[in-house]
Amino acid sequence: MTFHLLFSFSTYFYRNFKTQNMKRRVTFFLIFMLTIITLHVTAQDSVRVNPYFQKPKSDISQRLYFGGSVGLSLGTYTSVSLWPLVGYKVTPKLSFGIQPGYEYLQYNYAGLKYKSNNYGARIFNRFRFIEQGFTHAEFAYINYDIPTEVIGNEVKYESFWVPFLFLGGGYIQSMGGAGSVYMQVLFDVINDKNSPYTAWEPFFTVGFGVGF
């Protein structure tokens, strides 16, 4: 019973900071979207090649696209993450891919320092139903260091593998040539009991790609 109480108490700290960080992510996401829309209006007259309109290619290397996201937040809440991505276009609209990644978290709460090394991989499917819009389905399996108890000034952790099934969609903007930037919003429909996130919390992602 003691272990259960300590686990719930420490997990509350972890989720509380995640909730605060989500507000920062929402603000950044909205500002970034406005910036991209402004760049799009400015570049209306530029000539660019849009892979969305290209005919299917037989060469495997020409069907591949690359991208990913990098995260950096410093201060009371420190977060460093790297999620490279590689995808394969079955057709100009339908693609599959994989995205391994790593995230380091560190934050202070009630005079204690919490930290976590998280890693895992994602398998995803995307469908571009219009030039600048796509749906996204993704299965992710992530290992989290979750604080379980506090002894004196030392925080104890336990690792958990957590499954996610993300569903959502996004917006993609060509930046000229094969380069593009995308923004997406996903929701986890599994809501595993060991997930460090609250149920139905939106996940905002901003990333860059080549060839998508």
pLDDT in tens, 134-154: 999 999 999 999 888 898 888
pLDDT tops 60 at residue 124: yes
Residue-level pLDDT at 12: 36
| Confidence band, pLDDT 50/70/90 cuts, at residue 32 | very low
Average of per-residue pLDDT across 1-10: 29
pLDDT at 212: 72
| Average pLDDT over the chain, rounded to an integer | 78
What's the pLDDT at 10?
37
β-sheet bridge partners, residue 171: 133, 183
Q: What is the pLDDT of residue 196?
A: 83
Percent above pLDDT 70 for the chain: 73
* Cβ pair 201, 22 in contact under 8 A: yes
Mark residue 13 as left, alpha or beta (left: phi above 0; alpha: psi -120 to 50; beta: remaining): alpha
Task: Quote the CA–CA distance of 158 and 156 in Å, as a whole number.
Answer: 7
pLDDT exceeding 90 applies to what percent of the chain?
44
